């Protein structure tokens, strides 16, 4: 007699277009439905809810997590959160004695609350976050309690959708982020007047500009150089945007705990220029981008501008870096591979509780 699929409930604070929500959607979409029955709980509605339902994934929007858990009766609850104390999510799971609780810890933070003891496995989104957690909190980050699982990327789609006839000598850079000041760095702006001065026909395409960006462009007379774009809502729109640039220009004051846009640009065959974050901030961007292999690092505006100019002036080198990035993304971040790794984690955790999936 065949057994029913394992019921897995993913919980997330939002169903908007952010990276955390995108990662959750990718994981539940790629779970093997013959083995796992996924569902999603979120206290607030959002654009991804309709997409999940189109994929045949049960959604529970609003209401009480406790009631959802009692009705769905998950064997596994997978919590996507920043890592800080979150009693609204964990208390219902403790009250209902959910067999296995997994968390994706997006920012590598520690929850010292007693409720956090119900978590069976914490998955950080990069090796950097895992190792920093050990150093910062003095907690041995060892599996199965602590591990890392890279964010999934639809590398198959990006490899097929991205153009193969890209002219890397075109003096065009691109940047994608949310319109959030926390996603910006002064470096991202300071480099623009230098490149506008030194590179004929230089252009910069931006998704996710903030008011300070618009003000900077006006103050420096860069209205013809910088082109602003509306937010994108799908991988197809991301690929189309990246088709029109020669490299991804990344600059984020706080750094990245993973860097989904970086991984997606790599999957499209683009070299990436990024920078180290100062101090104990997130630095997984340096884990994704290998200096001189899949892109370049720069610490100052002059260094950054020189890195951009080097790639414009050496298109064969830019193409080599882009190809290396595409291969790395397919090897490490492919959504189907990441989800298969997650399925193995689920299975082993269930077995450790005496549950045979």
The answer to whether residues 214 and 256 belong to one domain is: yes
How far, in Å, CA of 7 to CA of 73, rounded? 7
The answer to whether residues 38 and 134 belong to one domain is: yes
The answer to whether residues 258 and 348 belong to one domain is: no
In a domain, residue 292? The reply is yes
- Based on the structure, what is the number of domains in the chain? 2
The answer to whether residues 140 and 214 belong to one domain is: no
Q: What is the dihedral of CA 124, 129, 132, 136, to 10 degrees?
A: -60
Question: Over the stretch 193-228, which tens digit does the pLDDT of each residue have?
Answer: 999 999 999 999 999 999 999 999 999 999 999 999
3-class SS letters over 321-354 = HHHHHHHHHHHHCEHHHHHHHHHHHHHHHHHHCC
In a domain, residue 68? The reply is yes
In this structure, what token pair is assigned to residue 205? Answer: 């395409």
In a domain, residue 357? The reply is no
The answer to whether residues 110 and 164 belong to one domain is: no
Question: Over the stretch 151-173, which tens digit does the pLDDT of each residue have?
Answer: 999 999 999 999 999 999 999 99
Query: In this structure, what CATH number is given to the domain that contains residue 147?
Result: 3.40.50.2000
The answer to whether residues 131 and 199 belong to one domain is: no
Q: How far is CA 136 from the centre of its chain?
A: 22
The answer to whether residues 146 and 163 belong to one domain is: no
| Mean predicted lDDT score pLDDT of the chain | 96
The answer to whether residues 144 and 180 belong to one domain is: no
The answer to whether residues 261 and 131 belong to one domain is: no
The answer to whether residues 269 and 296 belong to one domain is: yes
In a domain, residue 75? The reply is yes
The answer to whether residues 322 and 222 belong to one domain is: yes
Domain of residue 189, residue span: 155-332
In a domain, residue 1? The reply is no
In a domain, residue 168? The reply is yes
The SS3 of residue 316 is helix
How far, in Å, CA of 334 to CA of 324, rounded? 15
* pTM of the predicted protein model: 0.95
Choose among 127, 126, 133, 143: nearest CA to 110. Answer: 133
The answer to whether residues 345 and 287 belong to one domain is: no
In a domain, residue 210? The reply is yes
- The pLDDT assigned to 3 comes to 77
More confident of the two residues 294 and 178: 294
Tell me the C-alpha to C-alpha distance, in Å, between residue 65 and each of 27, 69, 92, 99: 20, 6, 7, 16
């Amino acid at each position: 007699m065949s057994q029913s699929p394992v019921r897995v409930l993913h919980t997330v604070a939002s169903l908007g277009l952010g990276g955390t929500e995108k990662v959750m959607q990718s994981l539940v979409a790629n779970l093997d439905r013959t083995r796992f029955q996924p569902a999603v709980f979120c206290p607030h509605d959002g654009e991804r809810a309709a997409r999940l339902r189109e994929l045949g994934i049960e959604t529970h929007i609003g209401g009480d997590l406790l009631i959802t858990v009692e009705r769905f009766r998950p064997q596994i609850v997978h919590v996507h959160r920043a890592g800080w104390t979150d009693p609204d999510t964990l208390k219902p799971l403790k009250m209902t004695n959910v067999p296995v609780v997994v968390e994706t810890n997006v920012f590598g933070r520690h929850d010292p609350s007693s409720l956090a003891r119900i978590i069976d496995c914490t998955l950080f989104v990069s090796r950097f976050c895992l190792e920093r957690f050990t150093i910062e909190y003095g907690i041995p980050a060892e599996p199965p309690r602590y591990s890392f699982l890279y964010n999934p990327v639809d590398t198959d789609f990006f490899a097929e959708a991205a153009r193969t006839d890209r002219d890397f000598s075109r003096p065009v850079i691109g940047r994608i982020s949310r319109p959030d000041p926390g996603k910006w760095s002064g470096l991202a702006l300071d480099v623009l007047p230098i490149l506008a001065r030194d590179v004929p026909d230089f252009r910069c395409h931006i998704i996710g500009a903030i008011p300070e960006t618009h003000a900077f462009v006006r103050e420096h007379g860069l209205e013809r150089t910088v082109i602003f774009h509306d937010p994108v809502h799908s991988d197809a729109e991301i690929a189309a945007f990246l088709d029109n640039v020669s490299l991804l220009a990344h600059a984020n004051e706080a750094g990245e705990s993973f860097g989904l846009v970086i991984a997606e640009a790599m999957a499209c065959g683009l070299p990436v220029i990024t920078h180290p974050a100062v101090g104990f901030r997130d630095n997984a961007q340096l884990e994704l981008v290998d200096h001189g292999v899949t892109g370049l690092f720069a610490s100052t505006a002059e260094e950054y501008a020189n890195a951009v100019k080097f790639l414009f002036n050496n298109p064969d080198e830019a193409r080599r870096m882009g190809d290396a990035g595409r291969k790395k993304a397919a090897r490490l971040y492919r959504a189907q591979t990441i989800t298969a790794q997650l399925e193995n984690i689920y299975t082993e955790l269930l077995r450790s509780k005496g549950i045979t999936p």
